[in-house]
Amino acid sequence: MELFSGLMVMMGILGFLLAMVWLVLPFVIIGMKIKLDRTHLIVEEIDRRLALLERNNDRLPPSGSVVDSSDHDTLH
């Protein structure tokens, strides 16, 4: 009989721990979702800014190109 009561105490403790996890888990999931949504917005903003930089970079001449001197006024 002692064995049965010991098992019941262990089952009660496990049941209590599972109930605590069951009650806390929704708040953890909601907190993660809020952080994930915020991170998603930040990544979208970074992607938009990176696309803008890439478009502006396409308009610039290559850095190793030679500039024609006839385009510039020279002092002689």
Which residues of the chain are modeled with pLDDT < 70?
62-76
Tokens of 12: 């009660």
In a domain, 3, yes or no: no
Number of structural domains in the chain: 1
Residue 59: the pLDDT is 81
Q: How far is CA 44 from CA 12, 39, 47, 58, in A?
A: 48, 9, 5, 21
Q: What is the pTM of this model?
A: 0.53
Tell me which residue range forms the domain holding 42. 25-57
Residue 60: the pLDDT is 76
CA atoms lying within 13 Å on the CB side of residue 15: 6
Interatomic CA distance for residues 67 and 62, integer angstroms: 10
